[in-house]
Structure 1
């Protein structure tokens, strides 16, 4: 995996069924390609009812269809993009997926949940194999389940029975050290939403200083397992204070600030790009329906289309 370097972007998160197949989605994917991106993480989710449910059903009224996914992968490949397929389980009760889980001694509950989860993941692993996806993500930020090492090893085994490409798992920032089974995957992924700003509108210099502290932690993870590291998710909104809480999507009243977002992007690139153990980024995220360029200066979301961070990304992706 040493020769792997992902110049990537997450595409289409939080899209409804059918959203990949619209003319606007295709146009958005074309604009994503124009950033110099070479990969997309095609990330979609289904629901289990609560964080304590043991069954992950296919919701015929909600879940992306295989046809949706086939369409998006085909379009991406027509544009010369490589694809990491990334199925995710969320909880319909609104609680974060990291809280899915049971007491340690609830063996039957764990066994039932992992059986259902493995069935869910293996379905998409088979699809990834059939579509020639170049990477497969077996889970995202499932913090409450990560201590179940034996169960996760079995999930990986089942995926490898049907998928021949590299497998990645997406940990959450600050929780990477709790995963003892990273030796089972090919690539270690994390959602690197580390807070590197110290005040609203902070400078790139401050962010660089704070990324250096994070870098040591991430490098230690690489040394422990001898696996390449990919930021399976990373980014922040173009809103004031975003670098202090890059994961935030809820505070809609924060003023627009594309400078802080651009500083975040630039500081990440400068810190990690040349590290021999580091293998790239899937930035969060790029929507299927983009706003107009005129609206870019009012958009306070994660999208970088028409913003200063897009110019930073293009410079690194095209010129490095």
Structure 2
């Protein structure tokens, strides 16, 4: 099994055209590198109109351009960071991308969607190759599509003609076991937003115990396909109760809790760091425009800049002897 270990962070999610090239973004990525992170998942999206649309298109007013991406990749490499390019499709109707799909027997719709999605991914496969990105993520939480084994295999085959580096797919927590084609990728990714708390203010010890309960099925997944598992997304906001629902980004009224986020980070790092079948983390997330350190104590987002979780991450990422 591949012994690569990814000390990663997601960077630039949700940013619009031009945002990667600002002075603020350059400063933000430098501060990201100072955490000891060695990788970034450069993640951005474009659109389809509804979850039942068959056409994916580039929005020239929204999505970062190839020039934006090239700038960010170059900046990352200058800082010593490796890059996983992570293009994502979202639905303009506001429904989660996991619901993109069609009835099983709607063969022509599936064919049209996969043709459009394959062309979308192939564009970024070519760009990843040209920019010498060290990894490519070919999909994120596309749950309704994952049963289309033959079409995913065909997509991966076409991508490999254009990009020779390692390929990862980003499944969603609890849904990893239903994907039959993970033998075709190099690493198995998942969005590890497991609810490891049962009440607000949960202790580190209880979170660690909850993480340990997730190990058997993740280890079995790795062994089934003989591929390492990566937490392609993992994180928790610094707000009270968020470890009960780590995926949450909507309840911005919850009170600030530095300790809840810190306990989530510490427990997830401790639980998986030394597992031989586990290959690392891409934490969610690090924005291109940071708040000031003085404002960190009011920020209830996923960001860890200036918070206790940043120091915990540094203690792991900056000391390779721990691994």
Aligned: 1:65 with 2:65? yes
| Residue equivalent to 2:106 | 106
Matched residues, number: 320
2:200 and 2:24 mapped to 1: Cα distance?
34
Structure 2: which 5+ residue stretches go unaligned? none
| Partner SS, residue 161 of structure 1 | helix
Residues 158-177 of structure 1: pairs in structure 2 closer than 5 A = 158-177=158-177
Could you tell me how far 1:2 is from its partner in structure 2? 2.1
Q: What does 1:1-320 align with in structure 2 at a 5 Å threshold?
A: 2-319=2-319, 320=322
* 1:228-285 deviation line (CA, Å, top 9, x unaligned): 1110000000000111000000001100001010000000011100000100000000
Q: Aligned partners of 2:205 and 2:197: how far apart in 1?
A: 10
Structure 2 SS opposite 1:43: strand
Residues 21-53 of structure 1, C-alpha deviations (whole Å, 9 max, x = no match): 000000000000000000000000001000000
Q: Helix, strand or coil for the counterpart of 2:306?
A: coil
Moved over 6 A (4+): none
Deviations 1:34-82 (A, max 9, x none): 0000000000000100000000011222221100000000000000000
Query: Structure 2: how far apart are the matches of 1:65 and 1:269?
Result: 34
TM-score by length of 2: 0.98
1:150-204 residue CA offsets vs partner (Å, 9 max, x unmatched) = 0000110111010000000000001001100000000000000000011101001
Shift of residue 223 of structure 1? 1.0
SS at 2:55 equivalent: coil
Structure 1, unaligned stretches of length 5 or more? none
Distance in 2 (CA, whole Å) between partners of 1:207 and 1:217 is 17
Separation in 1 of the partners of 2:233 and 2:63? 22
Q: TM-score, normalised by structure 1?
A: 0.99
* Pairwise CA RMSD: 0.6
The answer (yes or no) to whether the contact 2:2–2:228 under 8 Å persists in 1 is yes
Q: Describe the SS at the equivalent of 1:85.
A: strand
Looking at structure 2, the residues matched to 299 and 124 of structure 1 have their Cα atoms a distance apart, in angstroms, of 33
Residue 311 (structure 1) shift: 0.3
